[in-house]
A = this chain, B = another copy of it.
Amino acid sequence: MNSLPVAVDAMGGDNAPEAIVEGARMAAGEGLGVVLVGPPEQLDGSGLEVIPAHEVVGMDADPGASVRRLKDASVVRAAEAVRDGKACAMLSAGNTGAAMASALLRFGRIKGVVRPAVACLFPVPGRATPTVVLDCGANSDCVAGWLVQFARMGAVYSRAAFGTAEPRVGLLSIGEEAGKGSALVKEVFGLLEDPGWQDRAGARFVGNVEGRDLLLDCADVIVTDGFTGNVMLKTAEGVAAVIASQIIGLADSSPEARAGADLFFPALMGLYETFDPENTGGAVLLGVRGVCTISHGSSSPKAIASAIGVSHQLAAAGVVSQIADAVTG
């Protein structure tokens, strides 16, 4: 789809570089352009093109300091490849903060964007397209204007990536009625209600949504501050993971359960795949001048291959230039 490859941080992730290289090879096998970024001596056997980088930002390292100090880090070089026109997008499963900082420092912000935001996708059973939730962690303390711009960027993302003609924007709160929520939410509600804003954004404001609506078909975009969004993201993942591990454990609770599990688990696998965060293609940093996709640290090769596909798709759809048009328009 794009003539340029996706620059993949080969050294980021719990199982890097093995899982990352394998995922990149899978994507390449499907005809997707990929270039690995990392130490050539570890990657040359992969059969893929390599952009050399000799340092690595640890999973727990301080993002800002690391990115400033480790100028030859794989995640930094991946961002530079996009900046320098050698790649159409960057992808990292490593230190999330370092990937965001690299993108922000090397790409720069889109003119008119006040704060870039992390957008995550949540599956909606029975609906073909996922819900875009932002901000999921880039900005802990927000003011109303930022959330309004997040809503705008989220609408562009939903339209570009999933073809949603007029995305429905919901505002995360703790009650459906207009007056419910924090002072921040009440102020944002008034701004999103404005028909002029909705016209300009090509979006429709559907009012407050609650935590329990996350996986239901009530909005295409859910907007919130980065603190609340990150808590929601991790709560959803944590609850799903605990339930999944409990269900697996139940299979050994009795001979009947074991026999039932053998018959029922194949059906259950499809559900597991729907909710597995690895399959959603990862988080995307919106508002910077390039595509930056962030995958889970525990991503499997399949998840990496899928995220490479999503990165290509976002680049081909022109999400960056569409956001640029939207925020200045």
Q: How far is the CA of A254 from the CA of B265 in the complex (A)?
A: 12
Known: A182-B141, A243-B243. A235 touches B214 (CB 8 A): yes
How far is the CB of A287 from the nearest CB of chain B, in Å? 19
B238 close to A250 (CB less than 8 A): no
A183 close to B137 (CB less than 8 A): no
Q: How far is the CA of A125 from the CA of B247 in the complex (A)?
A: 12
**Which of the segments A43-51, A222-230, A297-305, A310-318 contacts the partner chain?**
A222-230
How far is the CB of A186 from the nearest CB of chain B, in Å? 9
**Which of the segments A4-12, A30-38, A151-159, A256-264 contacts the partner chain?**
A256-264
CB neighbours of A195 from chain B (8 A): none
**Which of the segments A77-85, A99-107, A267-275 contacts the partner chain?**
A267-275
Flag A180-220 by CB within 8 Å of B: 1 or 0 each.
Answer: 01110100000000000000000000000011111110000
A267 close to B253 (CB less than 8 A): yes
Which of B211, B241, B251 is the one whose CB lies under 8 Å from A238? Answer: B211
B140 close to A174 (CB less than 8 A): yes
Q: How far is the CA of A242 from the CA of B215 in the complex (A)?
A: 7
CB neighbours of A251 from chain B (8 A): 264
- Number of chain copies forming the complex: 2
Q: How far is the CA of A290 from the CA of B105 in the complex (A)?
A: 55
B250 close to A260 (CB less than 8 A): no
CB neighbours of A253 from chain B (8 A): 267
B261 close to A226 (CB less than 8 A): no
Judge if A325 is at the interface, Cβ distance under 8 Å: no
Judge if A246 is at the interface, Cβ distance under 8 Å: yes
CB neighbours of A260 from chain B (8 A): 259-265, 267
Q: How far is the CA of A217 from the CA of B226 in the complex (A)?
A: 25
Q: How far is the CA of A259 from the CA of B230 in the complex (A)?
A: 40
Other A-B pairs, 15, CB within 8 Å; known A260-B260, A261-B264? A125-B242, A140-B182, A172-B231, A185-B227, A211-B230, A212-B238, A212-B241, A215-B239, A224-B231, A228-B228, A235-B235, A236-B239, A250-B264, A254-B267, A256-B267
